[in-house]
């Protein structure tokens, strides 16, 4: 049995030992490990978040692995509570249905299904649906909402059992979870076991090119073990009996990739998009460690600018708060030295209010505290939502407050700043 935490010595996709450190990061506690007051005396361990690149296949990944039972046994994130994500999942599901046209009653299985909001769109079309999610609380919520969900980790044994008991699936999905497993080879083999001969495997992952271009630091946390790009992913799937037949770039989470795969030699032809993105990655030298090291250099430049800004704010006696108790904010707090500077964090979610941030134990308050306590500046930690936060809280700016954003560069937003462009690319 594996012991945790542990450090891998081989690539998750090709098993090569040719791994190079390309983006060193500050170790942090688990990104979503917000704690109640009664646990403040407990020390939360920090785990490494360094990114490595495989020189053999180009895949970028974390090598330090945290016990998945700590990460996924209970989960505070519910997909169905985000209106934007629900709309995205609806469009995504409709696209899959148009491409595959499954017969009524066909089986759709979603790995890492969360509260089942993606599966609901298939269920409404007369398909059998089954969710698989190890988080006991979200699985329970999905079942109560009428989406059958197994509170288990997906592996080869479970795939064989489901194929035997329920038949193979016409559609297997793994959205924002195909980057979360340390055993990628086992997951791919298990998907193939469960997939019908004419079925499709669809998955959504954060896209490495967008991470690089938009400095998506908030996507780097311990759950995200893999930072996918098309070229190594295509080769990986072929080694496990599947072929990538379509890819689509989408703006969700700052920039993601929806992939569609089938068994090798399956009935569908590959779209030009696969070759086009592989060619783009080649032109951008995405699989050259020098490219990732340049990305690291840009992060360090922002880090230096943030450090200078924090010193100036402190010298001026300005009170600083954070906005958004997001998972991605934990790395920002640690890597940018915000931990001892934030008086409190505000968040819209009642689930986070009254808790304390991982490690530094910064109190999380309702958004009303922004107006009641009137901090001079609010550093936006929920970076993906910067535009909507600024639009929704013009009253804070009108009262003299300032928002601080740090991607792609430091910006101080005041009441005199132009409103965010709603048509601009995210972030």
Q: What is the pLDDT of residues 156-187, one digit of tens each?
A: 999 999 999 999 999 999 998 888 889 999 99
The conformational region for residue 115 under phi > 0 = left, psi -120 to 50 = alpha, else beta, is alpha
Work out the pLDDT band at 426, boundaries 50, 70, 90: very low
Q: At what angle do helices 184-194 and 156-166 cross, to 10 degrees?
A: 10
In the block, residue with structure tokens 């008086």: 343
Structural domains for the chain: 71-284 (3.40.50.150), 302-413 (3.40.50.720)
pLDDT in tens, 391-409: 999 999 999 999 999 877 7
- pLDDT of residue 328 exceeding 70: yes
- Confidence band for 73, pLDDT divided at 50, 70 and 90: low
pLDDT confidence of residue 3: 72
Q: How many CB atoms lie within 10 A of CB 82?
A: 15
pLDDT digits (tens, 9 = 90+) for 355-368: 999 999 999 999 99
Q: Where are the beta strands (DSSP E) in 84-127?
A: 107-111
pLDDT bracket for residue 85 (50, 70, 90)? confident
pLDDT band at 425 (very low <50, low <70, confident <90, very high): very low
Report percent pLDDT > 70 for the chain.
Answer: 95
pLDDT exceeds 50 at position 238 = yes
Q: What is the mean pLDDT of residues 307-317?
A: 96
Say if CB 157 and CB 187 are below 8 A apart: no
Residue 1 pLDDT > 50, yes or no?
no
Supply the pLDDT for residue 147: 96
> What mean pLDDT do residues 246-267 have?
94
DSSP-based three-state secondary structure for 226:
strand
Q: Mean pLDDT over residues 219-234, rounded?
A: 95
Model pTM score: 0.92
Contact criterion met (CB below 8 Å) for 186 and 156: yes
Q: What are phi and psi of 201, to 5 degrees?
A: -105, 120
The rounded mean pLDDT for the chain is: 92
The CA distance from 389 to 290, in Å, is 35
pLDDT at 326: 86
Mean pLDDT of 228-246: 97
User: Does the pLDDT value for residue 332 go beyond 80?
Assistant: yes
Q: What is the mean predicted confidence (pLDDT) over 128-141?
A: 92
Q: What is the mean pLDDT of residues 57-86?
A: 78
Mean pLDDT, range 209-220, rounded to an integer = 92
Q: Please give the Cα distance from 230 to 46 (Å, whole number).
A: 31
Give 327 or 35, the one with higher predicted confidence: 35
Sole residue written with tokens 């402190």: 314
Angle of CA points 118, 120, 123, to nearest 5°: 125
Q: What's the mean pLDDT in 189-193?
A: 97
Token pair listed for 135: 């988080």
Greatest extent of the chain over all pairs of C-alpha atoms, in Å: 68
Calculate the CA 392 to chain-centre distance. Answer: 24
Q: Which residues of 21-30 are buried (b: 16+ CB within 10 A; e: fewer)?
A: ebbebebbbb
Strand partners, 107: 128
């Amino acid at each position: 049995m594996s012991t945790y935490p542990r450090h891998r010595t081989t690539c998750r996709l090709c098993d090569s030992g040719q791994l190079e450190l390309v983006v060193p990061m500050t170790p942090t506690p688990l990104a979503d490990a917000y704690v109640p007051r009664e646990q403040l005396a407990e020390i939360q361990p920090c785990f490494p978040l360094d990114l490595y690149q495989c020189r053999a296949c180009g895949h970028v990944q974390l090598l330090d692995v945290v016990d998945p039972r700590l990460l996924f046994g209970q989960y505070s994130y519910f997909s169905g509570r985000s209106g934007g994500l629900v709309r995205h999942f609806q469009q995504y599901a409709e696209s899959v249905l148009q491409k595959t046209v499954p017969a009524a009653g066909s089986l759709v299985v979603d790995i890492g299904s969360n509260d089942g909001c993606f599966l609901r769109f298939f269920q409404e079309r007369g398909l059998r649906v089954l969710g698989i999610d190890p988080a006991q609380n979200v699985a329970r919520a999905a079942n109560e909402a009428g989406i059958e969900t197994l509170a288990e980790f997906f592996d080869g044994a479970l795939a064989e059992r489901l194929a035997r008991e329920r038949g193979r699936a016409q559609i297997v999905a793994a959205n924002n979870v195909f980057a979360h497993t340390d055993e990628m080879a086992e997951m791919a083999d298990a998907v193939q076991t469960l997939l019908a001969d004419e079925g499709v495997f669809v998955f959504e992952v954060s896209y490495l090119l967008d991470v690089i271009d938009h400095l998506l630091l908030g996507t780097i946390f311990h759950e995200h073990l893999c930072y996918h790009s098309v070229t190594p992913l295509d080769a990986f799937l072929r080694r496990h009996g599947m072929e990538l037949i379509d890819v689509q770039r989408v703006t969700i989470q700052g920039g993601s990739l929806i992939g569609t795969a089938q068994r090798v030699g399956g009935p569908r032809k590959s779209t030009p998009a696969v070759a086009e993105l592989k060619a783009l990655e080649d032109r951008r030298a995405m699989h050259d460690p020098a490219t990732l090291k340049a990305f690291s250099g840009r992060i360090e430049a922002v880090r230096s600018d943030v450090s200078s800004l924090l010193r100036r704010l402190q010298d001026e006696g300005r009170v600083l708060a954070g906005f958004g108790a997001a998972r991605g904010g934990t790395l920002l707090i640690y890597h940018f030295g915000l931990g001892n500077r934030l008086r409190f964090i505000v968040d819209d979610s009642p689930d986070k209010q009254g808790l304390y941030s991982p490690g530094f134990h910064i109190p999380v308050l309702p958004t009303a505290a922004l107006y009641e306590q009137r901090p001079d500046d609010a550093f936006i930690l929920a970076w993906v939502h910067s535009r909507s936060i600024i639009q929704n809280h013009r009253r804070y700016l009108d009262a003299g407050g300032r928002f601080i954003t740090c991607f792609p560069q430091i910006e101080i937003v005041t009441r005199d700043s132009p409103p965010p462009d709603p048509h601009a690319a995210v972030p």
